[in-house]
Amino acid sequence: MEEGFEVHGPHDHELEHAVEHGSSKSMTSQIAMYTAIIATIGAIFGYMGGATQANAGLYKNNAAIKKTEASNQWNYYQAKSGKQNLSELAMEIAPSKKDHYEEEIKRYKSEKAEIKKNAESLEHESNEWNEKSDEEMHQHHRWAQATTALQISIALAAIALLTRKTWLQKGMMVMGGVGLVLGGLAAMHI
């Protein structure tokens, strides 16, 4: 065996220094990877926020349509009530046609009962659509909060890269965690 000198190149010293003291390039790589992951998750959260906002608008529109249909039914109900009242008055004015007007009154009462049932059902549907819209808007706000927290985390990561401050790295991690928790709450409809 030959014994002799071992010559280290400049990169060997850099590697030894990185192992002993940690590498700033390693920190840069870690923050870059973190930023890419958080940005991807943020894009997904942003999409979900947009989808829930669109759903909320659609559901609110459905609620308005059902409310209008219910209003139309109530107007129809009032028209039947007016006709019933006229038949009741006609029965008093023309007692000779009492049987005819009693049949009319009976028919109007029956028709009004059906119209009322339909109008109440439409109002109930409108309320259900409104509730769904409110739920979607709550979800939208959760997704927006999560996305905002992730965007703040990305901004802190950029500043941490520029300043090399470890407290900023901790801040980016905390904000990233907050964003992920909020996104989890949104996904669980909480």
Query: What pLDDT does 38 receive?
Result: 94
Q: What is the pLDDT of residue 1?
A: 52
pLDDT value for 21:
54
Q: For 66-103, b where at least 16 C-beta lie within 10 A, e where not — what string?
A: bbebbeebbebbeebeebbeebeebbeeeeeeeeebee
Question: pLDDT value at position 65?
Answer: 97
* Percent of the residues in the chain that have a pLDDT greater than 90, as a whole number: 75
Q: Is 166 exposed, middle or buried (0-12, 13-18, 19+ CB in 10 A)?
A: exposed
pLDDT, residue 23, reads 53
pLDDT at 27: 82
Residues of the chain with pLDDT under 70: 1-25
Residue 26: predicted pLDDT: 79
| pLDDT at residue 15, as a whole number | 41
Q: Are 172 and 157 in contact (CB under 8 A)?
A: yes
Per-residue pLDDT at 164 = 87
pLDDT of res. 69: 97
